[in-house]
Amino acid sequence: MELKNCLSGLGSALVLSLMLAAPANAQACSYRMGPFLTQYAAEAAAQQARDLGYVASGVWGEGGVISQWSNRRYFFNVFYEC
């Protein structure tokens, strides 16, 4: 029972933090960076954006299937105030 209350409290805290963050993000803009040929290159570029003071998303890959990894490209978003 105590674990259930703890998880319920964590869920409530998460919802509250998302609700409070929504207005702040309403004035934010983003720019999609990529494509990068390797995940390593995309991660390095995202870290460089963070070092410059921008907020960067995680890196994700698009395209390619298991048999065609050579077609895969990597991207991330950079967020800034409009």
Per-residue pLDDT, 82:
86
Q: What is the mean pLDDT of the chain?
A: 74
**Residue 63 · residue 72 · CB < 8 Å:** yes
Mean pLDDT of 39-45: 96
Cross-strand partners of 60: 75
Q: What is the model's pLDDT at position 14?
A: 36
What would the DSSP string read from start to end of 12-38? HHHHHHHHHHHHHHHTEEEEEEEEESS
- Residue 23 has what pLDDT? 44
Task: Specify the pTM.
Answer: 0.61
CA dihedral (61, 44, 31, 26) positive or negative: positive
| pLDDT of 57 above 90 | yes
pLDDT of residue 27: 63
